[in-house]
Amino acid sequence: MAITLEQVDRLREKANVSYEDAKAALEQTDGDILDALVMLEREGKTAAPSGGFYTTPPTVEGRVVDDGQGPGPGGKGDWSEGVNNFFEKVGKFFNRAITVGGSNYLDVSQDGRHVLSISILAFVLLLIVAFWIILPLMLVGLFFRYRYHVRGKELGRERVNEVLDKTADAFQNSVE
């Protein structure tokens, strides 16, 4: 088997030996880096690791293959990088939710008279904290001809308000 420069470099990195020693060890072990490391340890050319172990990534025709097992050549990156990416995305989500929720409003009216405006952010927080109180109050309000509309750049879409109007109309028709 032909020994590649990549294999020699990897062995030199792991064992801290010269090119000559690394190449000779790889030739004697048919290119197996782990066996070459063990051989170099036995010869006293490198120190054995304390409390660790060596591993050789899978290869095909001398090329390292991504085994999907994590960091290293062709690996997926380290765990902390994934955690950092997760928290960065969560932070962006909450920043966007606060921005959108604070600039859009839920308007409550009765018989065309404006009764209340509350930011979507405050409304969602109220729903989270007091779901079993807010939702029944809203449903009871529909029986007393209260209407709900969403106002704002991001959420003030006509389609949303059409659905809210149809819901209010259905409740009013059921009462009459």
Q: CATH no. for residue 55?
A: 1.10.8
Report residue 38 as tokens: 């063990």
Query: Cα Rg for the chain, rounded, in angstroms?
Result: 33
* 60 lies in the same domain as 120: no
* 53 lies in the same domain as 113: no
* 106 lies in the same domain as 56: no
Task: Identify the residue whose tokens are 């989270």.
Answer: 128
Does residue 22 lie in a domain region? yes
When divided into structural domains, the chain yields a total of 2
Does residue 139 lie in a domain region? yes
* 108 lies in the same domain as 171: yes
Q: According to the model, what pLDDT value does residue 89 have?
A: 92
Q: According to the model, what pLDDT value does residue 156 have?
A: 60
Residue 58, CA atoms < 13 Å, CB-side half-sphere: 7
* 116 lies in the same domain as 170: yes
Does residue 78 lie in a domain region? no
Does residue 88 lie in a domain region? no
Does residue 143 lie in a domain region? yes
Does residue 157 lie in a domain region? yes
Mean pLDDT per block of 10 residues along the chain (176 residues) reads: 85 87 89 88 77 61 58 57 88 87 89 91 92 91 89 76 86 77
Does residue 73 lie in a domain region? no
Residue 145, CA atoms < 13 Å, CB-side half-sphere: 6
Does residue 81 lie in a domain region? no
Q: Give the torsion sign (CA, 77, 83, 87, 90).
A: positive
Q: 32 is in which domain, residue-wise?
A: 5-64
